[in-house]
Structure 1
């Protein structure tokens, strides 16, 4: 049987070309189109016919012919996609620069605090879609605002090192307890029954509620085990905090020292509290810096309580709320999960220093 079709031109590779093509062909996640073209050329260079290459790589014969020809004509550069003709660019670099500058440096003339895509499009004489694309490309979000707060505590650095040191290297023969109060917990009852979750429909509850009173939850989180000592009190004074200290004293092994991490709330520093602490030398109080409650791990536990219990619950009385929370705390303590602190004091201070430098930069 005679040979069918025209004779194919020889495809020979240099050592550098083969190494480059083999590198492209090994790609598994990126540039898959280029990897396929490289495998086609390598197979053809090994003397495999176009039809066999087509069957092996599961591509059409015209595709094999195309990339074989492109490589012979332009070598490695021929495997890249050619630029395609299209409409001329309507938005120039000058237009993009003007949009960015206006967004960052000017306010809308109508008194708004920030631009919207519609208002800026009208001011620039461009389409709303074009403004939106430019904003997305440069990460501009005028509708969003972030808040920040820095501690003004003159002992901030020392307190951070003290508290973080307790988390990362707890003292021997001692418990580290993060102590705080979740004050003004509301006993709320919805004005209509909550509707259960159904396929394609989330749980539904009314926006309106009836308030039946408030209570405060005092909690002490054991940093090592994750267990919590908790007690409810209807008021939030130093008398209640003193009662909770006595509760901690009764519910912890007497032979262990207790290191308490607390915030700077006034009820934690009254003369009565100081006198009681002097009479109980196993208690050592470590205060977090002012406006730095994020440093107290019990706040993370309060977030779990809010998300998993309080946010969706309904209670007809304060007593019902307290009993419900006590049951939840008991279930938590049956299988406690500690929160692992990973950042060193130097990591925290370096991050804050970089942020302070950024917000104080005149060019910011």
Structure 2
């Protein structure tokens, strides 16, 4: 078989050679870099088969690059991306697909309450919205149009007729702590059961932590009552077997002993033990002012975020066998947390609750 004649680039000037060397050192695009190296090696007298062997490409590719450079010069080094195949589904149909995906399937006569990609694909083809489409294309269309798979969330209205007044009172305490006292957020956390709790951890792929699935609750439950001091950011707590008004009053007395010289502004929810007559009487005579949250607005209590952290870092992923063991885990986390605590400032500064027209529909 006759050997094909060798192909080399045309005579390259000194300036062109320097430009090729610069491109081969600095080009970010791998296609442009490879083409520049082909041209530079050919200009140095290396034949196409040797260049192809060194760059792990075909000889035809090397010859095509050389011919293109001889015809168009440096313009031949830049890749001309075609942009891929044209879309088979036009923009109007894509928008209609997203509208259907956001609909409750039952409104469209389907016997299920949510779409899967497979069910959505079958419906679109059946209703002739598209002639054919893959589930992966559907996923990409929905993603591009900002439609994502989300969990359903609940909401409720606050039925408190003084919602705005109470909301503003709490926000004022957060924003402008009184100079004559201390703002404390108090709430109960629990019940503290002894049970395996789901959690997350960094593990080798395919090797999750395993916890027992069956268990019996033979040790009863306990309850934690805690206070968040906004001036220092520290948590103070007690764990008790009950959460009656007596336990709540004892906890208030412990707070009173901790800051004997200051008036305490205690933000609490509308749990009935908080409004017990004995509790209110003691607060009146001991410079403790209970600031009640609006009904169905426990999210306004700053300590709720701290409880979420306690649950996540001290309890999730655990399977404590005794209350003592579980109490020790909670204590260790809160002690670690308090060592790093910072004063609490700027509660939800950009939240919609700061808007003067905020309604009583709360998430």
TM-score (structure 1 length as normaliser): 0.69
Query: After superposition, where does 1:80-159 map in structure 2 within 5 Å?
Result: 84=82, 87-105=85-103, 107=105, 108-125=108-125, 126-127=132-133, 128-141=135-148, 144-159=151-166
* Counterpart-to-counterpart distance in 1, 2:336 and 2:86: 67
Pairwise CA RMSD: 3.7
* Counterpart-to-counterpart distance in 2, 1:69 and 1:316: 73
Q: Deviations over 1:333-357 (max 9, x none)?
A: 444344443434885332984997x
Q: How many residues align?
A: 300
Gaps of 5+ in 2: 1-8, 25-32, 40-64, 126-131
Q: Does 1:276 align with 2:274?
A: no
**Which residue number corresponds to residue 179 of structure 2?**
172
Q: Give the Å deviation of 1:203.
A: 3.6
Contact 1:53 1:64 in 2 (8 A): no
C-alpha distance 272-104 of structure 1, shift in aligned 2 (>3 A): same
Gaps of 5+ in 1: 9-47, 71-78, 191-195, 360-364
**Which residue number corresponds to residue 301 of structure 2?**
296
Query: After superposition, where does 1:247-286 map in structure 2 within 5 Å?
Result: 247-252=254-259, 254-280=260-286, 282-286=287-291
Q: Give the Å deviation of 1:181.
A: 0.6
Partner of 2:291, secondary structure, is strand
**Which residue number corresponds to residue 20 of structure 1?**
none
**Which residue number corresponds to residue 240 of structure 1?**
247
1:53 to 19, 26, 30: 19
* Counterpart-to-counterpart distance in 2, 1:257 and 1:67: 84
Query: After superposition, where does 1:317-356 map in structure 2 within 5 Å?
Result: 317-344=322-349, 348-350=353-355, 353=358
* Counterpart-to-counterpart distance in 2, 1:316 and 1:69: 73
C-alpha distance 116-284 of structure 1, shift in aligned 2 (>3 A): same
C-alpha distance 173-117 of structure 1, shift in aligned 2 (>3 A): same
Contact 2:263 2:288 in 1 (8 A): yes
TM-score (structure 2 length as normaliser): 0.69
